[in-house]
Structure 1
Amino acid sequence: MFKKKLKALEYMDWDKVNANDPKHFRKLVVWLEEQKIRHYQIEERGELRNMNSNNWSETFTKYCYDVACPITTEPIDRLEWLVGYAVKLEFQDNYKKYQPITGVSLKEMNKQAGPSVKSSNPLDNLNFYTAEFRNGVETLAKILRVPCHSNHLVTLEACSKVVTRRLNADALLHPSSVVVKGKEFPILETGLGFTLGDSALENAAKILRLLYIQDLRNLQTRINEAIVSIQNITANPKTDTKLGQVGK
């Protein structure tokens, strides 16, 4: 997907780029800023262009901060975010060209999800992109043994699911009900039933299928619980004998 995005951006060496090579990495970053992102003024790009500088890594870190990159982990993860950001800007600059394909207008893309509402909840006033918040999420993930994602908000969502499913009141009373048993299912080794021409896409499709099956099972469990609740009511009717009449 990384190279496909570069191809869509018309990067000259999209099929040869190696993000692990410092020369390729720095060349790509400079190209993204010069051709697509254009966050800095031309005269401000000097340090970024000086790819042989010993301080280039610090310059890159500052650049990521200036463009509000939320990724603070590996440089490659930051580069991938920059490429995705460049794709977004490319769409905004040429949305009329891509609108017949995507069906999404620029207005729909940028419109707010809802009106701005002031909340008294202190959680709504948190800055989710501070270093302190990221460190807190990483600490929580280590405690829960949740793998950290390059985007700390994705990690936080995973932590939330673990707490909701395995640390709720019922799970704490009956821990054996949430302990996974049996052998791991080799999902990536199973057949998909069709081909997509890309191993990464096929693996993603297998995972999505497994998640869909899990959602269906959860839905069936809720349906069964609803049926049992109704049966408990209908199987034990209470008769009001005061309403009965004997004779005429």
Structure 2
Amino acid sequence: MFRRKLTALDYHNPSGFNCKDETEFRNFIVWLEDQKIRHYRIEDRGNLRNIHSAEWPKFFEKYVQDVKCPFQVQDRQETVDWLLGLAVRLEYGDNVERYRNCKPDIVKNQDKATDPLINLDSNSPDFKAGVMALANLLQIQRHDDYLVMLKAVRILIQERLTSEAIAKASAAKEGLPVSLDKHILGFDTGDATLNEAAKILRLLHIEELRDLQTRINEAIVAVQSIIADPKTDHRLGKVGR
């Protein structure tokens, strides 16, 4: 699954690379950092280069965090693919002139391509890495089906992050004045001041409950929007093709 990116990076064994082989994997990470990514200064790469150290996994985990990879080191294939994608982008940046004459294919009949996602490959590692990065950024629960996660990202952005939603959330809330004299507390503390304070606390609590119910309703609507999709088989938790 990594062959194309490894070939683009001139890796010495793109077809035979095995990320499950621990020694080969560690040597590969060192090569990737030394030759392509170069996130650390040369003098700071010693821990990563010491592939025989028992603490190497700890140094690798820190490296993954330092380059801001959205995956955990336990997700080795996803992590490797993301690092390769980063290396390819950096390689292109370092060799702009080399690729300047490589013109992308022009899509014929562009007026027919009304859907920008029509050719989206949902099985692409790049697609999965991008969806996972968005989900992590927006703190969305991970799901086995990346299309379902993408739907959740879309719903959250529409409901919370559009300019209209942000403006609405930022607007000052102005409520109607409430007369405490007309509000029945239901019990008597024996102190008029405490009674007034208890009434205020009760009104604030009611407002919090209303806000909580609104959030619950929004969550229910979001879930229904996903499972109501005719292409979605919610019994399997997968999107039909």
Structure with larger RCO (C-alpha < 8 A, sep 6+): 2
* TM-score (norm. length: structure 2): 0.49
